[in-house]
Amino acid sequence: MSTGRLEAFSDGVLAIIITVMVLELKPPEGADFAALHDSATSLLTYVLSFVYIGIYWNNHHHLFQICKTVDGTVLWANLHLLFWLSLYPFTTNWMDEEFGRASVVTYGVNLLLAAIAFTLLQRRMMRMPESRERMHEVFGSDLKGKASVLLYVLGIALAFVEPWLGLVPFIAVALIWLVPDPRIERYLQHERELGRTLD
């Protein structure tokens, strides 16, 4: 089973998730800059969730550059990931409207479950016979993935103490992923030099 349609469907879902969050942004009430200032926190949470979805799209894109055939369980592992990502607008919106322990913890749990879903998808794809070797070569240790899970757990714990504090590890995760994954770039570069094309 080729990955073309799985990628197209995931692109569609991610494109919608990243965009519908802007629909939740209410226009400022008032015609002056002070009114815009009141929307500042909404804009900041929007930026954060936009970056997360952007990172997932990027990593998803990389994953399916290496692995080109899938089976039925990968389809469901992918839908499972999309499910948790689809809840971002909901948890972002709650955190934005009622900033506090419960909403930040819930946001963190959502981030954590999406990260776990991504790891499950990646592991499942590592078992595909055609790409097992290449997948292990590229994603073998997955330090970033493990660090993300730890940081999310830390953030959830901190949010119980003080909601704002919980955001620090969440933002740290975004920062460590913003850099494009050198493993894949290096691998693709290496492939090119060997004169082999993946696509």
- The residue (of 103 and 131) whose beta carbon lies closer to a second copy is 103
- The residue (of 53 and 154) whose beta carbon lies closer to a second copy is 53
- The residue (of 43 and 150) whose beta carbon lies closer to a second copy is 43
- The CA-atom distances, in angstroms, between 145 and each of 11, 44, 119, 174, 191 are 21, 24, 7, 12, 24
**Binding of a second copy by 65 (CB under 8 A):** yes
Query: H or E stretch including 106?
Result: helix 101-126
**Binding of a second copy by 185 (CB under 8 A):** yes
- Angle at the Cα of 15 (from 191 to 91), degrees rounded to 5? 115
Tokens representing 132?
């097992």
> How many Å separate Cα 56 from the centre of its chain?
3
**Binding of a second copy by 111 (CB under 8 A):** no
Q: Of 5-34, which residues contact a second copy (CB under 8 A)? A: 5-9, 11-20, 22-23, 25, 27-33
Tokens representing 44?
């900041």
**Binding of a second copy by 161 (CB under 8 A):** no
List for the chain the helix, strand, coil content (%; round to 5).
Answer: 80, 0, 20
Q: Which residues bind a second copy (CB under 8 A)?
A: 1-2, 5-9, 11-20, 22-23, 25, 27-33, 35-36, 47, 50, 54, 57-58, 61, 64-65, 71-73, 75-76, 79, 82-83, 86-87, 89-90, 93-94, 96-103, 106, 178, 180-181, 185, 188, 199
